[in-house]
A = this chain, B = another copy of it.
Amino acid sequence: MLKQIEGGVCAPRGFRANGVHCGIRKNKEKKDLALIVSDVRCRTACVYTTNLVKGAPILVTREHVKDGYARAVIVNSGNANTCNANGVEIAEQMCALVERYTNIPASDVVVASTGVIGQELSVAPIAAGMPDLVSGLGDRSSAAAEAIMTTDTVKKEIAFAFTAGGKECRIGAIAKGVGMICPNMATMLMFITTDAAISSQMLQRALSEDVKRSLNMLSVDRDTSTNDTLCIMADGLAGNAEIAAPGADYRAFCRALHAVTVAMCRMLAADGEGATKLIECRVRGAKTQKTADLCAKSVINSNLVKAAMFGADANWGRVLCALGYAGAAIDVDAIDVDFASSAGRVAVCRSGRGVSFSEEEAKRVLSEREIGIEVDLHGGRRCATAWGCDLTYEYVKINGDYRT
């Protein structure tokens, strides 16, 4: 009963969005300011980066959603507003601007920034951009998704419809990813809207549980950002009986939320900086969940595995090596490894030893855009999936010259 629909963050009833170019970025073709507003106050839950260096917007947002409610999200790209002396002040001014132009109290505004660290963010272009941003609010999820992009090559939005309490509910999201992606809490920036009625407590619980199996299993480059923010707002306009306890409705909500976050993880990994391939590592047969998680993430994070995937090289020894230093107690002599894609499947390792395979066939399998690395630890029944991408010349190029 889960159906993908159009509309991104504006698919759920009661949400409008927009994105404009206000001038934080020099390139006038590139939108750099986004706004999402709800017709009514929303139950709101967030998770943030675990990095000790936290962007100033996170400090302000944390205060604003302390009461479990928010009504708007303002986001700029082009500047992270992090490690600046006046960062908190600027983030508060952004929220005040939302209040001035929409009458939504500043204390109900979620604020986020993404871009370069350590350069002062001027509020002037943001103030100048507000009239257009607000007057254009509507069914414009795509404009908002565009405005939060940095080196993303495609905008990320998605929405699903599901049923809870006999009512059709909707959930939608926009996100940005690319570099500094190794969330321990959330990815760079993701904003989810839903019209399902759900209590604050169940909303936070659903979000906190979900990230363990979604965004925390995503890694583009192992660098946990200073500004990661994942925010979900629920305005309750679907008319379902409020989800206030575990049960069938809560499970339906969690399934829909997970569909959103996993779809986003795949999009974020596939569009990792410089990436040409989405890599999905599926580990099964683990004794504990922690072992499954550590092993899947260790493979996804290995530069040597990532570079081999870029070269479509079935160098499975690097997968074994990454499993060996994952920090989990595993029996390395029991490990099986397969490479899989839409072009087929190749068994490359059985019981920790190489098996003979056709290099030609392996090359064909690994030349696809989506690669599965399948690991069976033969040690138990837990499994985990992690998402990442290959390591390419382009990653080095983008990151060797990001600020210029």
Seen from chain A, the residues whose Cβ lies within 8 Å of a Cβ on chain B are 50-54, 80, 82-85, 116-119, 179-180, 184, 221-226, 301-304, 307-308, 310-311, 313, 315-318, 320-325, 330, 332, 349, 352-354, 391-393, 395-404
| Cβ contact within 8 Å between A400 and B325 | no
| Cβ contact within 8 Å between A400 and B313 | yes
| Cβ contact within 8 Å between B402 and A308 | yes
Instruction: Known contacts A53-B323, A118-B349, A317-B80; decide if A221 and B401 are in contact (CB<8 Å).
Output: no
Report the copy number of this chain in the oligomer. Answer: 2
Q: Which residues of B contact A353 (CB under 8 A)?
A: 83-85, 118
Give the residue name and chain of the B residue nearest to A82 (CB): B317
| Cβ contact within 8 Å between B396 and A354 | no
Q: Which residues of B contact A117 (CB under 8 A)?
A: 315, 317-318, 320-321
Q: Which residues of B contact A397 (CB under 8 A)?
A: 393
| Cβ contact within 8 Å between B400 and A307 | yes
A99 to B302, CA, bound (A): 39
Least CB distance from A8 to B in Å reads: 29
Of A84, A85, A223, A332, chain B has the most CB atoms within 10 Å of the CB of: A223
27 inter-chain pairs at a CB distance below 8 angstroms, sorted by A residue, are A50-B325, A51-B324, A51-B325, A52-B323, A52-B324, A52-B330, A80-B317, A84-B353, A118-B316, A118-B353, A118-B354, A180-B304, A221-B303, A223-B303, A223-B304, A223-B322, A224-B325, A226-B320, A226-B324, A303-B395, A303-B399, A311-B402, A313-B403, A315-B403, A392-B396, A393-B393, A395-B396
Closest 5 CB pairs of A and B: A117-B317, A311-B400, A53-B324, A307-B399, A118-B354
A395 to B310, CA, bound (A): 12
Q: Which residues of B contact A315 (CB under 8 A)?
A: 116-117, 402-403
Least CB distance from A376 to B in Å reads: 16
A352 to B83, CA, bound (A): 6
Give the residue name and chain of the B residue nearest to A221 (CB): B303
Give the residue name and chain of the B residue nearest to A351 (CB): B85
| Cβ contact within 8 Å between A391 and B396 | yes
A326 to B47, CA, bound (A): 20
| Cβ contact within 8 Å between B223 and A83 | no
Least CB distance from A170 to B in Å reads: 35
